[in-house]
Amino acid sequence: MTSPAPPGPPRPTSRDVARAAGVSQATVSLVLGDKWRGRVSESTAGRVRDAARDLGYRPNLAARNLRLGHTRTALLVVPALTNEFFARVYTGAAAVAAEHGFGVVLYPSPDGTGPARDPFASARAALDGVIASSMAADALGALRGAGLPLVMLDSDPAAPGPAAMVNLDIADGMRQVAAHLLALGHRRFLHLASAIGSWTFAVRARALHDALRGVPDAHIRTVPAALDVRAGREAAEHALALPGPRPTAIVCDDDILAAGACKAARRLGLRVPDDLSVTGFDDLALATAVEPELTTVRLPAEQVGERGMSALLAVLEGRQAEPGSLPVHLVVRGSSAPPPAGPTA
């Protein structure tokens, strides 16, 4: 039977460094924490660094962070883990976090419409701040009560509580959609609206109706649907089968609903875009997976995450977060075209 290897030499401590450098442990902490300037002479700081190097001393950063109440961890709260938009927001936030030695934990709040289980009861002490993306107002109660810096993304600017906010110019995106379809000659519209009651979808509806309000002969009907392909198909199929002149364009709050609208058109024997134009919103991978490819509004999701994490870092450092909304732009593809000539049933 082999004897166990003898234990190695004990790991050097800050006390050992202090003894070797002839200073106090507090001075070691100041120097190795890079907070010595103006408090410790340069020669003393050099002596401490040399002693730490000679002894092979490495500070226990995890213990230090816990002692100071900082764990360099942010919580990103999103309505759903399965939506590509939020995956891209996370990618952007995590990239900026990694550059600054932070980690990002992802937490879902179902649909963003109601309060999730409180993530703070056990995690409060392990977080430095919270980023909440596309959340409904009544889903933010636990976030506001957590006593942590809160940065809101794609959320109501009037909501109380956030230390910073990063928004997309959602209204301009919907105005671009309306201008594109009006220029093609469309005047009868169906708005396939998300049934989720969040700020971002309310803005889309308001911007679309405002853009069409002053246009002669423009008519719009709004039909809500849950945010999935099947619900979008069923809602669009029902609306297109109603008596009276058929809409020539379906404006959808999301690419997922637009995919459902395209399926509804096929079931009713309608061709996209010859008989019916369909537009989406977000420019998910799905937008180029359907045929014809979707005309949609591209949202810079990764940039939203980057700006959100940068805003949280600014708040934690006592700086002002970068102001202003991120621009969005319309991507015109094959699902939109001029309306068919003559009346449609």
CATH of the domain at 40: 1.10.260.40
Q: What is the pLDDT of residue 181?
A: 98
Average pLDDT of span 246-268: 96
Is the domain of 163 the same as that of 182?
A: no
Residues 6+ away with beta carbon under 8 Å from 317: none
Is the domain of 182 the same as that of 123?
A: no
Domain assignment of residue 339, yes or no: no
Give per-residue pLDDT as tens, 299-316: 999 999 999 999 999 998
Domain boundaries, position 204: 170-300
Is the domain of 174 the same as that of 295?
A: yes
Is the domain of 104 the same as that of 185?
A: no
Domain assignment of residue 137, yes or no: yes
pTM > 0.85: yes or no: no
Domain assignment of residue 4, yes or no: no
Residues 6+ away with beta carbon under 8 Å from 70: 128
Is the domain of 262 the same as that of 306?
A: no
Based on the structure, what is the number of domains in the chain?
3
Is the domain of 87 the same as that of 130?
A: yes
Q: Phi, psi (5° rounding) for residue 8?
A: -75, 175
Is the distance from CB of 94 to CB of 148 less than 8 angstroms?
no
Give per-residue pLDDT as tens, 207-226: 999 999 989 899 999 999 99
Give per-residue pLDDT as tens, 33-49: 666 777 889 899 889 88
183/298 Cα distance (integer angstroms):
20
User: Read out DSSP for 301-326?
Assistant: HHHHHHHHHHHHHHHHTTPPPPPSPB
Strands of 97-159, DSSP E: 103-108, 129-133, 150-153
Domain assignment of residue 333, yes or no: no
